[in-house]
Amino acid sequence: MKKLLIVESPAKIKTISKFLGNDFKIMSTVGHIKDLPIKKLGVTLGDPIQLEYDTIENKAKVIAGICKEASTADEVFLAPDPDREGEIIAWHIGQEIEKVVKDKNKIHRISFNEITKEAIEKSIEDPHKVDLNKVRAQQARRVLDRWVGYEVSPILWQKITKGLSAGRVQSVALRMICDREDQIKNFKPEEYWSIGGTFNTDDDNQVVALLTHISSKKAKITNEKKVKEILSELKNTDFSIKSIEDKKRTKNPLPPFMTSTLQQAAVNQLGFSVKKTMTVAQQLYEGVSLQDPTNPVALITYMRTDSLRISDTAIKQARSVIPKQYGNEYLPARANTYERGKKSKAKTQDAHEAIRPINISISPAQIRPFVSDDILKLYDIIWRRFVSCQMTPALYAQRVVTIKGGKYTFGVTGSTLLFDGFLKVYKPEETEKDQKVIIPDGIRANEPVSLKKVDPKQHFTQPPAKYTEASLVKEMEQQGIGRPSTYSATLSTIQTRQYVIKEKKKFSPTELGYKVNNMLVENLPKIMDYKFTALMEEDLDKIAQGEMGRDDLLNEFYETFEKDLKQFQGTIGSKKTLQVTSISCPKCKDGKLAIRIGKNGEFVGCTEFPTCTFTSNFKKNSDGEIEIIANQGPKLLDEKCPECSRQLREIPGRFGPFTACSGYPECKYVHAVKAQFPCPSCKGDVVKKNWRGGVLWGCKNYPKCTFAVFGDIEETPCPECKSPFLTKKTYKAGSTILTCFNKKCSYKNEE
């Protein structure tokens, strides 16, 4: 009997093939095989709404190969990933297979959350049909994103500059960053004071406490005058220990990871970007080589999930390992179970498990000799987080001391760790940063104490912190904006579009980002509204669960969207919006300088253009005021030329500044940005060059070697063939396509 099993990623083929017999042929779709057309909308309103699908470039050969095998197979199993994207891939390839297979009943859909022999065999024994509700939910999401991207982006080109894009989720994420920046700019610090006191007992025991209450009311000290009054009164006040309260406090383990919490932990603890986290997690899910390079092992369950559910099998495995490895006292009487927090507005989608190690007996130490540092680090926190989630709480002895004198009350709380519990395996970041407060044992209630030292400190309230990748993902998850599969792409897009910049791991909106955001908020308030975006995600969940019709959601959305869009389009003929500053043009003195956007980013230009052609680069100072950067000639650098040891200099060029030797023309050295991979043709260096058509990456050994890539690249290995880089192309409609440079590989990803 010949059977065909079709997966989404070719990286899974080796991992799965070792579990199945020789009668199974395993093939891959290499991601999506069909999508809405790139150069047109592809959505026609009606009853029903019609969607036009095109075969993705280079996928015709993949489809033909799969269909050829399916035509002679006795059974076909569709096994793309267990989410909505995977469901529509199964639906699309199933449609193609049905064209060549007479008996449609031999086509089955199977799903598994982990790549293990048991999970795969169980899924084959219990096949089902493609879930059309999930397919419709994916279609609805794709259409919503297509409408916003294709209908709104051209208006932004007309009003601001070409090459911009809008997105249903990305634009709301941009708004979150802009809103936070506005909160920071508009924040007015408020003064407040704290007063610490050092108290001694007759036995020379010392207690340091803070003033907490004045006349039974919470101490609120807002100025130095009030501080001086209090200090004067404290000098003449007698104090004693009013009470000592000893109690025990437990700290419960954190739940296992889901996508958003894994991304946050990887950013905070490992310094990974969200994108890098998902790339490494994908490798762990699909399988990595350990002792036998030909036998990859899948190490974690599916990494795109918003569920905290743990299978009974995994819980039993953890509960058998914990007492053996750590002792019986670390195993709770009952297994720990977890649910999503009440603060989160997002609802759990699909019946996935939490992210966990497939086999808890494979420890991080065991894989260390065989894997990269990145894989080891991510697996380590996944493994430790899961093991710890099934352990006992940590136990603290807590002592609360209250010191009172007249109308003034001081207090201090100290904690001592009695039993580490789950902290033996996994220490949350906040636990590692806890400051230890030591309170002496020899103090007694009602014992008189003397105030030996007073320490007043002035403070000011602080503005909210700028978003990091971790905190933005956390806020998006809590607000219900986006889903696990979209966080990484959303953060990448708003940075690629130069709507935000990341400095010291913190996001700030650019002037361009502000312009786009303000324009969208003003003209398309509904799609930029946090609550509306979250409700749309809930409605997509309802479609996936069969509780709402796809077209009901789309028609309701488009009715309002079309009205707002027409009003937004109504002013296309007017001049592009300019942010005019109060700075007079230094050249003509008549005009003002306005922020404009060109091919190389933002600059200021005279409002009297074309009469006055003054332009200049600019920067913003700490107060947000614009400062002109004078156009400079060549600038000597501290670096030495690697060829002749003369000083290098930065020179303004036609296509932007470049670095070259100051000894030109005797020395013709020009510094070039070098790729991290060698030339595929001759193994020489690959360098970045600017030309009138944009950017190219070419071999430094030109003309002997003619290797060149015209356009930008992303130095990320291809997920399918491991080619060292992907080519990047941005279309007018706003989408970015990443494609493998290897012509034999058909990998493509649209962002």
Q: Is 590 helix (H, G, I), strand (E, B) or coil?
A: coil
Q: Which of 150, 302, 426, 747 is catalytic?
A: 302
Runs of H (alpha helix) within 509-647: 511-523, 530-544, 550-569
Q: Listing from the earlier edge strand, what are the strands of the sheet with 647-651? A: 635-640, 647-651, 658-661
pLDDT of residue 732: 45
List, run by run, the mean pLDDT of 10-residue segments along the chain (751 residues). Answer: 90 88 91 91 92 92 95 94 92 96 93 90 94 96 93 87 86 96 94 96 92 95 96 95 94 95 94 92 92 88 91 93 96 92 50 88 94 95 97 95 96 93 87 65 92 96 95 93 87 89 90 91 92 92 94 94 88 57 88 76 82 82 72 76 87 69 86 84 84 75 86 81 81 63 74 52
Q: Which helix (H) or strand (E) holds 416?
A: strand 408-419
pLDDT of residue 750: 60
pLDDT of residue 350: 45
Instruction: Look up 302 and say whether it is catalytic.
Output: yes
Place of tokens 């003002």: 592
pLDDT of residue 65: 95
pLDDT of residue 349: 47
Alpha-carbon distance values, 674 to 652, 668, 671, 679, 686 (Å): 20, 18, 9, 11, 6
pLDDT of residue 737: 75
Domains of the chain and CATH, by start: 3-130 (3.40.50.140), 138-187+465-569 (1.10.460.10), 191-252+394-460 (2.70.20.10), 259-389 (1.10.290.10), 579-629 (no CATH)
pLDDT of residue 577: 57
Closest CA to 686 of 658, 713, 716: 713
Neighbour count for residue 626 (Cβ, 10 Å):
17
Cα–Cα distance measured from residue 684 to residue 701, given in angstroms and rounded to the nearest whole number: 7
Residue 232, C-beta contacts closer than 8 angstroms, at least 6 positions apart: none
pLDDT of residue 632: 61
Closest CA to 222 of 563, 538, 460: 460
**The two structure tokens encoding residue 700:** 């430094």
Eight-class DSSP state of 150: I
Which string of DSSP letters, residue by residue, matches 339-381?
Answer: ---TT------SSPPPB-BS-TTS-HHHHTTTS-HHHHHHHHH
